[in-house]
Structure 1
Amino acid sequence: MTKVLECPKCQARIHGRTIEEVMENYLDHCKALESHHQPNEEEKEKLISNIMELH
């Protein structure tokens, strides 16, 4: 089952097989784009709650 998170800054779709993988990919995405900052713990919690499953 693939999980997906939409980046709140640029609406890019970040995919992964697990929540942890999605978050890792999201952090890499933020590092790659200088306009994105690394989310703090509170923002990470909110992002995790926004991860959806693709069927």
Structure 2
Amino acid sequence: MLYTDGLVERRGQTLDTGIASLTSHVRAGDPETVCTDVMSEVGPGLPTDDITVLAVQRWP
């Protein structure tokens, strides 16, 4: 998973807190589903910064 800082940075919150929240919600699976789940659980309600999330699935 790749993401921009807008996903994990919040005013009044440490960066470590944002990254911990992200890592607790990332799971292996279909990339579209993973991105949707991460944005609904971690993404801000009203973004104040740009956010990009990219998940990649490797095929055997």
Same fold judged by TM-score > 0.5?
Answer: no
Larger radius of gyration: 2
Query: What TM-score, normalized by structure 1, do the two folds share?
Result: 0.38
Query: What TM-score, normalized by structure 2, do the two folds share?
Result: 0.37
Q: Which has the higher contact order (CA 8 A, sep 6+)?
A: 2
